[in-house]
Amino acid sequence: MPKRTDIQSVLVIGSGPIVIGQAAEFDYSGTQACRVLKAEGLRVVLVNSNPATIMTDPEIADATYVEPITPEFVEKIIAKERPDALLPTLGGQTALNTAISLHENGVLEKYGVELIGANVAAIRKGEDRDEFKEVVEAVRAKTGHGESARSYICHSMDDVLKGVEELGGYPVVVRPSFTMGGAGSGFAHDEEELRRIAGQGLALSPTTEVLLEESILGWKEYELELMRDKHDNVVVVCSIENFDPMGVHTGDSITVAPAMTLTDREYQILRDIGIAVIREVGVDTGGCNIQFAVNPADGRVIVIEMNPRVSRSSALASKATGFPIAKIAAKLAVGYTLDEIPNDITQETPASFEPTLDYVVVKAPRFAFEKFPGADSTLTTTMKSVGEAMAIGRNFTEAFQKALRSLEKTGSQFTFTGDPGDKDELLRECVRPTDGRINTVMQAIRAGATPEEIFEHTRIDPWFVDQLFLIKEIADELAEAPELTPELLAEAKRHGFSDQQIAGIRGLREDVVREVRHALGIRPVYKTVDTCAAEFAARTPYFYSSYDEETEVAPREKPAVIILGSGPNRIGQGIEFDYSCVHASFALSDAGYETVMVNCNPETVSTDYDTSDRLYFEPLTLEDVLEIVHAEQQAGPVAGVIVQLGGQTPLGLSQALKDNGVPIVGTPPEAIHAAEDRGAFGRVLKEAGLPAPKHGTATTFAEAKAIADEIGYPVLVRPSYVLGGRGMEIVYDEARLETYIAESTEISPSRPVLVDRFLDDAIEIDVDALYDGHELYLGGVMEHIEEAGIHSGDSACALPPITLGGFDIKRLRASTEAIARGVGVRGLINIQFAMAGDILYVLEANPRASRTVPFTSKATAVPLAKAAARISLGATIAELRAEGLLPARGDGGELPLDAPISVKEAVLPWSRFRDIHGRGVDTVLGPEMRSTGEVMGIDSVFGTAYAKSQAGAYGPLPTKGRAFISVANRDKRSMIFPARELVAHGFELLATSGTAEVLKRNGINATVVRKHSEGPGPGGERTIVQLIHDGEVDLIVNTPYGTGGRLDGYDIRTAAVARSVPCLTTVQALAAAVQGIDALNRGEVSVRSLQEHAERLIAARD
Amino acid sequence: MTTSTRGAASHRHTAPAVLVLEDGRMFRGRAYGAVGVTFGEAVFSTGMTGYQETLTDPSYHRQVVVMTAPHIGNTGVNDEDMESRKIWVSGYVVRDPARVPSSWRSRRTLDDELRAQGVVGICGIDTRALTRHLRERGAMRVGIFSGEALPDAGTMLAEVRQVPEMKGADLSAEVSTTEPYVVPALGEKKYTVAAVDLGIKGMTPHRMAERGIEVHVLPATASTEDVYAVNPDGVFFSNGPGDPATADHAVALMRAVLERGTPLFGICFGNQILGRALGFGTYKLKYGHRGINQPVQDRTTGKVEVTAHNHGFAVDAPLDKVSETPYGRAEVSHVCLNDNVVEGLRLLDKPAFSVQYHPEAAAGPHDAAYLFDRFVNLMEGQRA
């Protein structure tokens, strides 16, 4: 049965900004789906507010709307584009929820849009706790297996308290309905915890519904990924076993594919249940993910939940098996059946089979608790990780140790030196699942714990525990062996030990171990992920390394370019860098190179086997990269390695790669050093005659005080050699400077603290530019909305800059060119400037693709990363202009006056984190980056663009209602005009006494409300925090003084997060929001596709 | 549950072992299971679960099985999942054997079981390289030699080349029961089936018993009289090892059943016997189908089943037309979508059908269990 002929156009909804629980995997699936649908000859209309995605590249869809994913905006797009169908299953929970809203409010019916890939009834059955329970009961009646955890549905706190009694007491699990990534769920051990978790859950759930469940903590946890076509053919694509037993969200667990500890009988029971579930729920076409808990004592199976859509796990399963779930889901949605779709990898066998693996896949989560010092680091059923790494090996130990080193985090690899500590103490620590618990477990083993003790304290399956003992035993042998024999070295490599680990154990240098290993001829081979365990020949070079016998890397003739990706997503290094790597791959392939991608992040487009000519799914460490370079040099000519597009990860390897004789193309390592080293960079600036803020370095408080006294407070302090603004702080007085120096553990004579003059009230400016050695192409100039001092990654910004004039741009261009030349850039450079009192200061320069490259590229309709890749390989800007990759004349600094305004807004993960008392974490922005993702708002004027960015990031700005204002003294002047505007738009103002006084004196009436610290009034008057909790405040403006904040501000802001009320923490954001509210109130906000924007921009340029 | 009673230490410390293929390729590893020498036909199995069922499947008699899944033995050995009375594989090739099993049903380690049953194995070799070799060159004779003192390469190769080939091997008698036995119906008995044991797996009579069938399992040497002595409602021909071209007795027996028009069902070897009984040829596949993920299409419904396979031979019958046979019209009912190999036959004028794969599914998915219902329907239809 071939594809349907009654559908000519499809609307695909993306997943919006990267947030915890919904990340780059949906770019991967959405991109696959859009490509498939387009190849099928359908007109593809796409909406996604996230500019840092490949799917929003203008060539992926026919009409790409970078607009907020809200029912209101999607309706506008439907009205304009009139698609025949809507495919909602590839954009995560965001897309699914939006589609349901559009169904419920009648928009789909009104415009005759058919939901494909999932129907509303199936979505409800899968996601509604009550309905799903019925599904499981029906499945049990049919298959004789599977049941739900005993549970109780609640719509109020009274229900919740009654539910605990019904279930027989604590602990219980609380799960809110219809939230993504398990948001708001958790374990309650007593009534206090229950009230807190369930209260939050009821608020978070769009249907004010939570489920209480019996505790199945410590059970074995499994997932199956299934696909079904319209002929009711069902296949299980992958089984996944969680290393961490029940109790830790699967997104936060170490997971393993395929399942390792099930007999065939037990596995087939899960398979039978899974198939019966997908049928009973009624997912007609497409994929779904089902989670199971298995009692390790007797095999009792509980069906935990199912997602009737493509999920994080299905992205992982696709990468783990080579079976492209999203691509196939899209084909099934338009009418194909599984047997009609060829298996991409073998090209000869059909997709209606179940992949079989002859390797082991391990996924490990990457956390960012260091960014949220107050947050409780215990892992629960609410997902908290910000990224993940996947590794493939020919056995578990190899894959596992590769995954741990792929995390690229200090201490993520096992260490076997030093005193492990006290066994009992370590065992006690093992009970609580945390980031890095696995390392504690290993230390407990080193300290003499038995397998039984480890199982008792962690409930990690005995087979996995034995694998840890195996690793430890090999480490012992390495330590005890009189010499490193070839047999022992080979065995250690077979179990995933890195040269670095072996070096640590033997007290050698890493490069010495490598030399010995190479001299002995012990090198990895590369095997293929082929879906079929070598039963059929694979046509797709998707490789992983293993210390085995036979390599499968085929010889080639064209010169290869090796692109190093960015590894696991983390705060400060996310999908934006993957975007640049993917673009490089496309551009270099077009230019006639063989492209070779190296990365270990399963969520990304770069690790799709379709993206590059060859894919190496490998850790991004020096050792692993050197081996790949060697393998590729054996296979044919290698033109070079690109390190400047994947963020700090590959950049950090560049010098060592070069020292090992690897050709680095683009900006040379020496130039990278010139930009990163303060002394060298200072010389570059001096030669170019450019000012930087006054600064100095100190290793003691006395030295720091002397510097601060000279340059004046406030000062910006930070440890040297850190990334993403880690530990950076604005210090307003001497007392805080003293405590900062005292508290900072990173400061030592060899690692001084940097003290910079903080430019108060400066405008911060970001520039992305290309330089080829002769000519500069200014990619774009972004003006930050927040003042300097907020990390650029967390700050909203506008492009073109909204308040800078032609003269400023000229100065920026000249300074950028001077720095690019002085540093020696060949490719991209990002520079941060601060304009204060008409002086343009240089804050820092990064000679690499920046986080803003995708945003700049989309806002100006110029593919900067593609151009950078070409420049790296020797093309000049003049050639690229002639070729048409860059505009024939002009650049991103001189956009036409009627060019659209693009606003980037950061999205922050506040709602994910609680402190150990269960309270929210403070939401104040600072110099340390904490956002996980971003959105883009694009429109003809700034106000509307800003309003769109807010709608995309946090939900629509209110256009009327009550606004609460409480600002720090220094902000009081700048608050008056925006406050007056709010009143003019009909807002009622609430303010604390101090702020209300200032407003009153300026003729603006505001109702005084009680501070949180004052408590309720004598007549029961509520405090501002209570008002927010009661849903009576629509907009909050609260600017903090200094960092740490005063308690009142903290409580206000955490209440805002809990109730999802827009909360502005800078006066600049307030001013922008007022413009946005003004635009919204003036009426029609329209939607326009990127393709239309580009057309107008190109027309205006000519 | 079995919490780690520490098993053998790393297999790195067991005796050296070598796997020698008849074309001269060798893989050096370590002994696994019993130490000694063994020979057979090298074949690979791609199932990720079900090693216990695979090892005890009589169809693997005289074969050295290479497991493509690297970790084997993780769930140990239990007392329920055996498909016959013993392990039949003549040798076992595994990359990473488990040291400690983990399953609430596990009774002992696989390593111990292999040793107890004298099965010689090898571990720690590049099983993927070996699989690719067999895929490209075809299944071939192999030897595993383990122990502290191994013969030189030339001697080992010469020994491997003296082993009889699978083509032309008549093995049913070696695996079949010698005495008839009865598997009683579970619940109410509705039918009696005579099952000819050419290497039958335990799950097959069990699947019939679940449907109210009393199964009389008869030796491969059973005569037509023996079959009809049990007064069967239907006759079943099982799976089994060897070359169907040698199975003259079974073919003759099946023809007798077809003559009488008794409902007939065959699995695997039984499918090849039906093919030959109808006058089709059989041939040896290059490297066979062995795994539990094979897509088979039921040509009458168009539906795809994910099925368990273990066959090195196949029936040569036309896919595109109905064939005339001495027993009326016959058609190919099922095909494997990977390579269009015949996976099922059906008579249109008599109550007889067979499949090349394993609907009893041990190990494997349960998608094809409906075929046992089809057999029941044939018997029901015959009664009416």
pLDDT of residue A1087: 94
**Chain A within 8 Å of B108 (Cβ-Cβ)?**
no
**Helical axes A510-519 vs A622-635, angle rounded to 10°:** 30
- Inter-chain residue contact A533 with B135, CB threshold 8 Å: no
Burial per residue of A739-749, b for 16 or more beta-carbon CB atoms within 10 angstroms, e otherwise: ebbeebeebee
A291 is in an annotated binding site: yes
Residue A1057 belongs to some domain of the structure: yes
pLDDT of residue A514: 97
Provide the domain limits for residue A1033.
Answer: 941-1081
Nearest to B131 among A268, A348, A533 (CB): A533
Binding-site residue numbers of B are: 59, 240, 242, 269, 272, 310, 312-313
- Report the distance separating Cα A1012 and Cα A523, nearest Å: 64
Q: Is A87 left (phi over 0), alpha (psi -120 to 50) or beta?
A: beta
Residues 583-612 in A contacting B (C-alpha not used; CB under 8 Å): none
Q: What is the CA radius of gyration of chain B?
A: 21
Tell me what the mean pLDDT of segment A735-755 comes to: 80
Tell me what the mean pLDDT of segment A885-892 comes to: 93
Counting beta carbons within 10 angstroms of the beta carbon of residue A6, is it exposed (0 to 12), middle (13 to 18) or buried (19 or more)?
exposed
**Helical axes A701-711 vs A734-743, angle rounded to 10°:** 150
Tell me what the mean pLDDT of segment A524-547 comes to: 96
The last residue of one of the domains, among A118, A140, A170, is: A118
Say whether pLDDT at A330 is over 70. Answer: yes
Residues in chain B within 8 Å Cβ distance of A263: 49-50, 52, 75, 78, 81, 103, 105
CB atoms within 10 A of CB A766: 26
**A535 and A489 within one domain:** no
Instruction: Indicate the number of domains in chain A.
Output: 7
**A1058 and A1003 within one domain:** yes
Catalytic residue, from B22, B53, B268, B331: name it: B268
Of A528-537, A954-963, B356-365, which range is least confident? A954-963
What percentage of chain A has pLDDT greater than the value 90?
A: 69
Of A74-78, A713-717, A812-816, B80-84, which range is least confident? A713-717
Collapsed DSSP state (helix, strand, coil) of residue A741: helix
Residue A1054 belongs to some domain of the structure: yes
Element at A1047 (helix H, strand E): helix A1047-1059
Burial per residue of A329-357, b for 16 or more beta-carbon CB atoms within 10 angstroms, e otherwise: bbbbbbbbbbbbbebbbbeebbbbbbbbb
pLDDT of residue A281: 94
Collapsed DSSP state (helix, strand, coil) of residue A886: coil
A1048 phi/psi in degrees, rounded to 5 = -60, -50
**Nearest of A37, A96, A47, A114 to residue A76 by alpha carbon:** A47
Nearest to B74 among A260, A527, A549 (CB): A260
Tell me what the mean pLDDT of segment A860-868 comes to: 96
pLDDT of residue B2: 36
Q: How confident is the model at residue B4 (pLDDT cuts 50, 70, 90)?
A: very low
The alpha-carbon gap from B213 to the nearest alpha carbon of chain A, in Å, equals 21
- Inter-chain residue contact B49 with A527, CB threshold 8 Å: no
Find the angle CA(A997)-CA(A998)-CA(A1004) to the nearest 5 degrees.
90
| Fold category of B172-383 in CATH | Rossmann fold (3.40.50)
Collapsed DSSP state (helix, strand, coil) of residue A162: helix
What percentage of chain B has pLDDT greater than the value 90?
A: 94
Say whether pLDDT at A750 is over 80. Answer: no
- Inter-chain residue contact A360 with B70, CB threshold 8 Å: yes
A832 is in an annotated binding site: yes
Residue A597 belongs to some domain of the structure: yes
Q: What is the CATH number for A641?
A: 3.40.50.20
pLDDT of residue A430: 96
Residues in chain B within 8 Å Cβ distance of A231: 302-304
Residue A252 belongs to some domain of the structure: no
Interval A286-329: pLDDT, tens: 999 999 999 999 999 999 999 988 888 999 999 999 999 999 99
**Chain A within 8 Å of B210 (Cβ-Cβ)?**
no
The position carrying tokens 């009627």 is A898
Residues in chain A within 8 Å Cβ distance of B1: 296-297, 462
**A543 and A504 within one domain:** no
The three state secondary structure string of A227-272 is: EECCCCCEEEEEEEEECCCCCCCHHHCCEEECCCCCCHHHHHHHHH
Residue A318 belongs to some domain of the structure: no
**A182 and A59 within one domain:** no
- Report the distance separating Cα A7 and Cα A259, nearest Å: 39
Say whether pLDDT at A967 is over 90. Answer: no
Residues 247-276 in A contacting B (C-alpha not used; CB under 8 Å): 258-268, 271-272
The predicted model scores a pTM of 0.94
- Inter-chain residue contact A265 with B366, CB threshold 8 Å: no
Tell me what the mean pLDDT of segment A128-144 comes to: 93
The last residue of one of the domains, among A215, A235, A256, is: A215
Interval A1010-1067: pLDDT, tens: 888 888 888 888 888 889 888 899 999 988 764 434 446 777 877 887 778 888 888 8
Residues in chain A within 8 Å Cβ distance of B127: 358
Tell me what the mean pLDDT of segment A911-926 comes to: 72
Residue A483 belongs to some domain of the structure: yes
**A1071 and A977 within one domain:** yes
Say whether pLDDT at A907 is over 50. Answer: yes
DSSP-derived letter for residue A919 is P
Interval A364-422: pLDDT, tens: 999 998 888 778 889 988 899 999 999 999 999 999 999 999 999 988 999 999 999 99
A interface mutation test: which of B52, B81, B95, B96 has the most A CBs within 10 A?
B96
Residue A125 belongs to some domain of the structure: no
DSSP-derived letter for residue A57 is S
- Least CA distance to A463: which residue of chain B? B102
Cβ atoms of A167 and A214 within 8 Å: the answer is yes
Nearest to A263 among B2, B81, B303 (CB): B81
**A895 and A866 within one domain:** yes
**Chain A within 8 Å of B71 (Cβ-Cβ)?**
yes
Distances (CA, A) of B207 to A266, A831, B219, B361: 17, 72, 19, 10
- Report the distance separating Cα A632 and Cα A555, nearest Å: 8
Sheet with A763-771: strands ordered across: A839-846, A827-836, A763-771, A776-784, A797-799, A901-907, A933-939
Interval B76-100: pLDDT, tens: 999 999 999 999 999 999 999 999 9
More confident residue, A923 or B223: B223
Residue A910 belongs to some domain of the structure: no
- Least CA distance to B128: which residue of chain A? A534
Nearest to A358 among B1, B70, B337 (CB): B70
A interface mutation test: which of B49, B298, B339 has the most A CBs within 10 A?
B49
The last residue of one of the domains, among A865, A899, A933, is: A899
DSSP string, A284-309: -SEEEEEEEEE-TTT--EEEEEEESS
- Report the distance separating Cα A489 and Cα A506, nearest Å: 11
The alpha-carbon gap from A35 to the nearest alpha carbon of chain B, in Å, equals 26
More confident residue, A749 or B226: B226
DSSP-derived letter for residue A468 is H
Q: What is the CATH number for A720?
A: 3.30.1490.20
**A651 and A682 within one domain:** no
Say whether pLDDT at A353 is over 60. Answer: yes
A184 phi/psi in degrees, rounded to 5 = 85, 0
**Chain A within 8 Å of B78 (Cβ-Cβ)?**
yes
Residues in chain A within 8 Å Cβ distance of B52: 263-264
**Chain A within 8 Å of B132 (Cβ-Cβ)?**
yes
**A103 and A158 within one domain:** no
pLDDT of residue B65: 98
Say whether pLDDT at B202 is over 50. Answer: yes
Q: Which two tokens stand for residue B2?
A: 């079995």
Domain definitions of chain B by residue range: 12-161, 172-383
Q: How confident is the model at residue A721 (pLDDT cuts 50, 70, 90)?
A: low
**A828 and A683 within one domain:** yes
Say whether pLDDT at A49 is over 50. Answer: yes
**Chain B within 8 Å of A143 (Cβ-Cβ)?**
no
CB atoms within 10 A of CB B261: 14
Beta-strand pair A776-784/A763-771: antiparallel
CATH C-level class of B12-161: alpha beta
Catalytic residue check, B123: no
Catalytic residue check, B268: yes
Tell me what the mean pLDDT of segment B165-182 comes to: 94
- Inter-chain residue contact B365 with A268, CB threshold 8 Å: yes
**A49 and A157 within one domain:** no
Tell me what the mean pLDDT of segment A644-665 comes to: 95
Q: What is the CATH number for A1073?
A: 3.40.50.1380
Say whether pLDDT at A746 is over 80. Answer: no
**Chain A within 8 Å of B28 (Cβ-Cβ)?**
no
Q: How confident is the model at residue A553 (pLDDT cuts 50, 70, 90)?
A: very high
- Least CA distance to A262: which residue of chain B? B75
**A1064 and A953 within one domain:** yes
Catalytic residue check, B336: no
Say whether pLDDT at B23 is over 60. Answer: yes
Cβ atoms of A338 and A344 within 8 Å: the answer is no
Amino acid at the residue B59: S
- Inter-chain residue contact A534 with B128, CB threshold 8 Å: yes
Nearest to A272 among B126, B302, B366 (CB): B366
**A536 and A397 within one domain:** no
Average pLDDT in chain A: 91
- Inter-chain residue contact B50 with A532, CB threshold 8 Å: no
